Chain A
Amino acid sequence: MSNLRILVATKRVVDYAVKIRVNAAGSAVETANVKHSMNPFDEIGTEQAIQIKEALVKAKTGTAEVIVVSCGPAKSQETLRTALAMGADRAIHVESDEELQPLAVAKLLKAIVEKEKPDMVILGKQAIDDDSNQTGQMLAGLLNWPQATFASKVELGDKLMTVTREVDGGVETVKAPLPAILTTDLRLNVPRYASLPNIMKAKKKPLAKFTVADLGVDIKPRLQTLKIAEPPKRQGGKLVESVDDLVDKLKNEAKVL
């Protein structure tokens, strides 16, 4: 009988469909009054954890507890409740209004891992706002746990996970003993819709809160954003006379060759 505890990290980000703009001060992307939702890769992570739980229950070989965690301001709780509505069992909110860079998040998650002692931590491969692709890897480093990133397939064995990874050269399969870190890639699964009854049940599920001080973590940013600007306005296209002309323009004007 295996009873797994799975910790899923989620982040509240600007919704993927929003047309983002730089704020008036030119310091960051405008987020006020803009639609936010759960990072799509974290939805995939939540879905994977729930599927693992359902597979164990169906095969009658055990069960899993799915705990979802998010680090951020008060509104991060919306993301947690979405995950609870999908089927997670309980939620943890690490509340902070400060900027949380990947290293800070990794340290906060490490503190949560030390409290909850999960068998797996599932994160999205990156958040669609900063595209850092660092938190999962840093967490593995801090915990000295094995990591399998960009997962497109996961199979669980006895205290072991076999993960197919999508890498630049193609597809790679790795085995890692649990406890381990997994980061999700797009093709791992298709997240379910929350059902209406589950949305209503979600508010009764436990949601624990911690502050950064409670966890004793230094979250001071290590990176400073120097400049943020919109990409250059789209120019009109040009017709070219020949392939040579095209190659010349790609090399010398667009500078992509």
Chain B
Amino acid sequence: MASLLNLAARRAPVRLGRAVSCVSSQIRNFASTPLDHDQKELQSLARTFADNEFAPKMQEWDENQLFPADVLRKGAELGFGGLYTREDVGGSGLGRLETSIIFEALSTGCVSTTAYISIHNMCTWMIDTYGSEEQRQKYLPKLTSMEHFASYCLTEPGAGSDAAGLSTTAVKKGSHYVLNGSKAFISGGGSSDVYVIMARTGGPGPKGISCFIVEKDFKGLSFGKKENKLGWNSQETRAVIMEDCEVPVENLVGSEGQGFSIAMKGLNGGRINIGSCSLGAAQASLEAALEHVKVRKQFNQPLANFQNTQFKLADMATSLLSSRLMVRQAATMLDQDHPSVASFCAMAKLHSTDECFKICDDSLQLHGGYGYLKDYKVNVYLRDSRVHRILEGTNEVMRMVASRALLTE
């Protein structure tokens, strides 16, 4: 028995040969189907920015619940404030695949901050795509530069998965709509300047919902207490409360009753964005685990020599690759306006958020006791990526979307 163990130890590569190091550098370069030169440049910029600006401060932001407005604005100077918003208002005019690549790379530095950037981007995209020219010119230049921050308000205390059941009302009175109700779990709530809010102008169900742009200083808008969360601590989360909140009629986005359709379109992209953030968390966790197992020794050898460690890492890499391919394919389908995009986005979100959370968890396990200490970063990736299984539609809702598509003739 002892000699068998020795044999296994001798076989395991302590000094990795050339073939293996190719994969190692591919892993570090986000292995997937080949990216073209521009996509690699974008990815490289985002990863460098994340390494330099996010990574050194990620734990501090998490520990102290700090919103890094200055670093976000630095990123906005490079174009992160309106990745898929049109260029005439300061956006970068990129596609959803490039956006996914960028969010994944940024998330390796800080998942929570990148997730906020993605929410901000969804708001700018909504105004860019469905807003009037006046609304675009009024709001977007300051949003793409992140002089102003945006928040998206759909969820309510009584309407989460059943989003179409929302009860915030918007009643037209002369030159204003008067909004009454409250929104829950709003990322950036209280600190954002612009709120994209879904409210009911018509009858029950999705067709009665409309979309509004609400400014922080509008009369009747207030905020709940700052929530204390397991993760996503670099973003403030609050309830958004409307008590006879007056919104000028010019701030209706699109037409009355169009709100839910806007929300659904937004969610497809939002699901790819959140999936991309999970990919970054898993990528960073895998990289950390790879480093740790080469250094940590037990029984007189690095953990990397043990087959269990090797197999676990292989499973993690395989799982990450499958997640990445699904997310990137869904992003490409969104770029191509594919008719089945909703179900592919749902499946990509379901798979990637579940799998990437497990990868973060496996990485924590490979770190042993050290993984449990906040001195090490792995715990942040785990806690931050946990919520991705819940928001942008719970993974249970993702199953509803996918099964509906499967069972429809």
Q: Which residues of A contact B (CB under 8 A)?
A: 24, 30, 32-35, 78, 81-82, 85, 193-197, 199-200, 202-203
Contacts and interface: CB of A to CB of B under 8 A. Distances in A.
Nearest to B91: A197
A78 B41 CA distance: 9
Q: Which of B37, B41, B49, B79 has the most CB of A within 10 A?
A: B41
A35 B25 contact: yes
B353 to A, nearest CB: 26
B48 A193 contact: yes
B250 interface: no
Given A196-B45, A199-B42, A33 B78 contact: no
B150 interface: no
Contact of B80 (A85, A196, A199, A203): A196
B87 A197 contact: yes
Contacts of B8: none
Contact of B78 (A82, A193, A203): A193
A165 B13 CA distance: 48
B18 interface: yes
A34 B18 CA distance: 11
Nearest to A34: B25
A125 to B, nearest CB: 22
Interface in B30-61: 37-38, 41-42, 45, 48-49
Contacts of B79: 195-197
Contacts of A82: 41
Contacts of A34: 25
Interface residues of B, number: 23
Contact of B83 (A30, A32, A81, A196): A196
B77 interface: yes
Contacts of A203: 37-38
A195 B78 contact: yes
Given A195-B79, A196-B80, A197-B92, A35 B45 contact: no
Contact of A193 (B28, B49, B93): B49
Interface of B: 18, 21-22, 25, 28-29, 37-38, 41-42, 45, 48-49, 77-80, 83, 87, 92-94, 102
Interface residue SS majority, chain B: helix
Contacts of A33: 18, 21-22, 25
A195 B77 contact: yes
A160 to B, nearest CB: 33
Contacts of B102: 196
B22 A193 contact: no
A197 B83 CA distance: 10
Contacts of B42: 196, 199
26 contacts: A32-B18, A33-B18, A33-B21, A33-B22, A34-B25, A35-B25, A78-B37, A82-B41, A193-B45, A193-B48, A194-B41, A194-B45, A195-B77, A195-B78, A195-B79, A196-B80, A196-B94, A196-B102, A197-B92, A199-B38, A199-B41, A199-B45, A200-B38, A200-B93, A202-B41, A203-B37
A200 B92 CA distance: 9
Contacts of B93: 197, 200
A196 B92 contact: yes
Contacts of B49: 193
A32 B25 CA distance: 11
B386 to A, nearest CB: 30
Contacts of A193: 45, 48-49, 78
Contacts of B21: 33
A14 to B, nearest CB: 12
Nearest to A33: B22
A102 B77 CA distance: 37
A82 B44 CA distance: 10
Contacts of A194: 41, 45, 78
A196 B22 contact: no
Nearest to A37: B44
Contacts of B83: 196
Given A193-B45, A193-B49, A199-B42, 20 more contacts: A24-B18, A32-B18, A35-B25, A35-B29, A81-B41, A82-B41, A85-B41, A194-B41, A194-B45, A194-B78, A196-B45, A196-B79, A196-B83, A196-B92, A199-B41, A199-B45, A200-B38, A200-B92, A200-B93, A203-B38
A193 B79 CA distance: 11
A197 B78 CA distance: 8
A33 B16 CA distance: 14
Contacts of A35: 25, 28-29
A197 B92 CA distance: 6
A194 B49 CA distance: 10
B72 to A, nearest CB: 14
Nearest to B28: A35
A104 to B, nearest CB: 27
A81 B28 CA distance: 22
